[in-house]
Structure formats: C-alpha cells, structure tokens
C-alpha cells in the first residue's frame, strides 16, 4: 500500500514528519521547513535529521511548532539530558539539556548575533561567557516558582501550556531549594509556591493562594529550620513565620531583598553584571550617574563608591517594595538618592530628577526593553557612556537601533550564560556618543 505524501494542509496536532533541522532561533528552538512551511522545532540541534511531532498549528497556520521525538541523525553536540523531565511533552523549563554545555553557549551566541544583525544592523562577534561558580550548568537556580497540582503537590508546567508535570526535584535548582523540603509537602489551596534559597543561607517559601479557596499550610511547620513562610495577599505579603526579607551577597557586601522581590537567580550573576557594568562605564570621582530600573540598588551601590561623595547617583525604580529595600541598602551613602516611580515619568520631571544632565547611565529594563520614549529621554541627558543590561536580545537590538538614531554607537558587548540549560542569555552592551565628523 502506498501512503500519499503529507501535505501542509494535513499537518495537524500529533502528526509526525521527518525534518532536516536548520539554524537556531530566538526562543529555544530551531528552524526547519516542511513543504515550504516553517516549523519551529524543540529538542533538536542544527544539522540533525529528526522525526518531529506537531504540537501547535495546522491548516492555515503561518508556521507550526513541533517536538523532535526521534533523532535519526544526531549532532555530535547531543548528550543525554541530565533531567528525566526535560523531554518532549514533559517539563518546559529547560530548552537545551540535550546539548553539551559549550555548544549551548555557541547557540546562544548565534541567537544574539542574529538579533543584532536583523534588528539593529550590527555585525559583531559574540561570545557567551560562563559566570563564576558554574561547572556543569546544574544546581544553580536559587529561586524556583512551582505550580500546585490537583493533589496539592508541587509541579512544573509543560512548554507553552498550563498542564502540569509533577517532578521529584528540579535539576537546575540549587541544593538549598531541595533542602527546604517544600516538594515533600502538600499545599492545599495554593496556586503557586516559590522556594528561595539565598547564597547567604537564608531560606523562604512564598505561597500564592488559589482565588476562592481556603489556604491551609499543614506542611509548613516541617520545612527546614529557619525557613521563612509568607503568603501573598491582596494587600501585600502576610508573614506566617520568619522575616519578610532575605540577605543576598554581591559586590563584596550583603543586600536586603524582600521575599518575592527581584534578585538574579544564579549565585554568580550579580557579581558578573556589576563587574561588566563598572568596566564598561569607568566611573570617575565626582560624576553624575543615573541607575534606571534600579531594583534593590545593586548597581547604584557599586557606582556610589566609585563616584565618591563628590559625585551623585540617582536610582529610579517603580516597584515600591524594591524601593524600600534600596533605601535600606543604600543607607549611609549620601551621594545616592532613590526615586520611586516609573522611569519614563521620573525622567519627564526634571525638578524631581534633580539633574538636567548625566555623565553615565545604567539601564536594566524589563524583558520588553526600554523602548523609544525612555531611549530618547536617556539620550537627551547627554551621557558619555550608557551601560544597557538586557535579558532579551531582541529587545536589546531594537533599543540599540533607537540609540543609534540618537547618536550612540555600540562600543562593546558581553554576553553571560546566567541561565544554563535554558534559552535565556544576559547581555551588557556599552554605548558611547559617536565621534563628531
């Protein structure tokens, strides 16, 4: 019996097709084509031939998504996944566990290069660097946010899905996360449970209740000694036991971070970023610096020491909990001021900002980037150098193009593998005013 060839219109969910895997793409997948239609394939490596199962899309779709369920011709960079859950149809938290760590970094470098070329017209070499303390890409994540399944046990989500997968433990989580013991308990009435294991040794569990359900914490008393337990309420965070904040360590000192607040999840990340920002900016005594999207004040604190009491650092942050932490973290540095508010609104109010020019600017925006309004406001302050910290290479590239329109050129770029086994990569771009003709 002859089976007719599969046509694009027949590619429905669950259909399996044989694909030649093309280049890596932004998003943790590779690009393949079937009868002219683009297929974004996970669990594959460029150059492989695979059998892939369609997971999204169908007749009329501009493109399809698929999982490589069988490898017919493997890449020499393919390895056995260290986690049994990092496979098709299972946990979606890791994208590249099937790829040797050096090759993961090469793939990430290619993604950054492609985004810069396509969106900013820049052709620059990129090397993705390991961060301190990273040996094998496992056991690094100090903050893990779990979902809670129908049996009140911790679980993680499938890729691009609300479906849950119960796991014994997360292989990229730091040992401290497992030591808390949250995965061994039930969490009736909870929607999510975030487990935090700071490098300082502080531990915390933050519980998000299900709307309309009675939250019970029967296992909280049996968590590891010293573990703080908090509940996210409509009016803020309610303390069950322990402190509402954690100690983190970076740049040679301790920092206060509220439980549930933002801090880099890799223990070596904060030091790597501070080092790259200081090297790129080369701050001098007496200079004026803006730290935009300042969080708990990590960059502001490091910069305040460099500019000294003759200089000034103005930190701007929109999250009020982070602002409260930043005020405590920067206490004793009179040259540092913290302003509460969205960056664009603060920059639009010179009287509140307190400066009409800046020598240096640090930008560490959310994943969507700084965007045109803020880029224009920053350029209008005339800084000699801007350090842009980015967690999304596409957003970075779009903003670099905007800066170029305003006379700023890319002077250097460093990329860091702060999220091994995943698609994510952190970049520090240093921009300077273009020389006059």
Can you tell me the distance from the alpha carbon of 342 to that of 340, in angstroms, rounded to the nearest whole number?
Answer: 7
Place of tokens 């990329």: 415
Specify binding-site residues: 264, 293, 317, 364
292's tokens: 């935009």
Can you tell me the distance from the alpha carbon of 40 to that of 21, in angstroms, rounded to the nearest whole number?
Answer: 9
Identify each DSSP E strand in 251-311 by its residue range: 253-258, 288-292
Can you tell me the distance from the alpha carbon of 23 to that of 29, in angstroms, rounded to the nearest whole number?
Answer: 9
* Domain range annotation of the chain: 8-78, 143-244, 247-433
Can you tell me the distance from the alpha carbon of 237 to that of 80, in angstroms, rounded to the nearest whole number?
Answer: 41
Catalytic residues: 391
**Cβ contacts of residue 138 below 8 Å, gap of 6+?**
82, 171, 172, 420, 421
Contact indicator for 216, 186 with CB cutoff of 8 Å? no
| Architecture, CATH, for domain 247-433 | 3-Layer(aba) Sandwich (3.40)
Helix (H, G, I), strand (E, B), or coil: what is residue 50? strand
What's the whole-model pTM score?
0.94
* CA 288 to centroid of chain Cα atoms: 29
Phi-psi region of 60 (alpha: psi -120 to 50; beta: other; left: phi over 0): left
| β-bridge mates for residue 16, sequence order | 53
401's tokens: 């193009």
Contact indicator for 45, 21 with CB cutoff of 8 Å? yes
Can you tell me the distance from the alpha carbon of 426 to that of 413, in angstroms, rounded to the nearest whole number?
Answer: 11
β-pair type (190-197, 203-209): antiparallel
Element (H, E) at 306: helix 298-307
Can you tell me the distance from the alpha carbon of 405 to that of 408, in angstroms, rounded to the nearest whole number?
Answer: 7
Question: Buried b vs exposed e over 298-329: b needs ≥16 C-beta within 10 Å?
Answer: bbbbbbbbbbeeebbbbbbbbbebbbbbbbeb
Contact indicator for 154, 193 with CB cutoff of 8 Å? yes
176's tokens: 């401290």
* CA 227 to centroid of chain Cα atoms: 25
Give the dihedral of Cα atoms 415, 420, 423, 425; nearest 10 deg.
-20
Each residue's pLDDT, cut to its tens digit, for the chain (437 residues) gives 444 444 544 678 899 999 999 999 999 999 999 998 999 999 999 999 999 999 999 877 889 999 999 999 999 999 999 999 999 999 999 999 999 999 999 999 999 999 999 999 999 999 999 999 898 999 999 999 999 999 999 999 999 999 999 999 999 999 999 999 999 999 999 999 999 999 999 999 999 999 989 999 977 888 999 999 999 987 778 999 999 999 999 999 999 999 999 999 999 999 999 999 999 999 999 999 999 999 999 999 999 999 999 999 999 999 999 999 999 999 999 999 999 999 999 999 999 999 999 999 999 999 999 999 999 999 999 999 999 999 999 999 999 999 999 999 999 999 999 999 999 999 999 999 988 76
Element (H, E) at 329: helix 320-329
| Architecture, CATH, for domain 8-78 | Beta Barrel (2.40)
Can you tell me the distance from the alpha carbon of 167 to that of 170, in angstroms, rounded to the nearest whole number?
Answer: 7
Identify each DSSP E strand in 91-220 by its residue range: 128-129, 143-148, 154-157, 164-166, 190-197, 203-209
Can you tell me the distance from the alpha carbon of 325 to that of 339, in angstroms, rounded to the nearest whole number?
Answer: 12
Specify binding-site residues for S-adenosyl-L-methionine: 264, 293, 317, 364
């Amino acid at each position: 019996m002859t089976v007719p060839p599969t046509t694009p219109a027949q590619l429905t969910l669950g259909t399996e097709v044989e694909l030649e895997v093309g280049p890596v793409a932004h998003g943790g997948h590779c690009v393949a084509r079937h009868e002219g239609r683009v297929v974004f394939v996970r669990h594959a490596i460029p150059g492989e031939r695979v059998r892939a199962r369609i997971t999204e899309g169908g007749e009329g779709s501009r493109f399809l998504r698929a999982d490589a369920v069988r490898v017919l011709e493997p890449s020499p960079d393919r390895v056995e996944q260290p986690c049994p859950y990092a496979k098709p149809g299972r946990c979606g938290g890791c994208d590249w566990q099937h790829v040797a760590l050096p090759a993961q970094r090469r793939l990430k470098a290619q993604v950054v290069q492609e985004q810069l070329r396509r969106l900013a017209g820049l052709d620059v070499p990129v090397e993705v660097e390991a961060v301190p303390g990273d040996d094998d890409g496992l056991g690094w994540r100090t903050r893990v946010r779990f979902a809670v399944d129908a049996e009140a046990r911790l679980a993680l989500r499938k890729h691009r899905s609300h479906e849950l997968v119960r796991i014994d433990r997360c292989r990229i989580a730091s040992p401290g996360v497992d030591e808390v013991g949250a995965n061994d308990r039930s969490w009736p009435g909870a929607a999510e449970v975030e487990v935090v294991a700071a490098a300082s040794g502080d531990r915390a569990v933050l519980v998000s209740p299900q709307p309309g359900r009675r939250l019970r914490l029967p296992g909280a008393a049996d968590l590891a000694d010293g573990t703080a337990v908090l509940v996210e309420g409509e009016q803020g965070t309610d303390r069950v036991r322990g402190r509402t904040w954690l100690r983190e360590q970076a740049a040679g000192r301790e920092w206060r971070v509220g439980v549930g607040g933002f801090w880099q999840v890799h223990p070596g990340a904060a030091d790597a970023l501070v080092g790259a920002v200081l090297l790129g900016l080369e701050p001098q005594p007496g200079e004026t610096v803006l730290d935009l999207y300042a969080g708990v004040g990590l960059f502001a604190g490091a910069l305040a020491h460099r500019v000294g009491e003759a200089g000034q650092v103005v930190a701007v942050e929109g999250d009020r909990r982070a602002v409260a932490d930043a005020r405590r973290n920067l206490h004793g540095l009179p040259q540092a001021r913290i302003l509460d508010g969205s960056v664009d609104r603060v920059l639009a109010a010179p009287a509140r900002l307190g400066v009409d020019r800046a020598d240096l600017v640090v930008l560490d925006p959310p994943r969507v980037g700084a965007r045109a309004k803020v880029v224009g406001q920053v350029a209008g302050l005339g800084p000699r150098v801007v350090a842009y910290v980015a967690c999304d290479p596409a957003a970075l590239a779009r903003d670099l193009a905007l800066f170029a329109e305003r006379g700023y050129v890319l002077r250097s770029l460093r990329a860091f593998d702060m999220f091994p086994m995943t698609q994510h990569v952190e970049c520090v771009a240093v921009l300077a005013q273009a020389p006059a003709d």
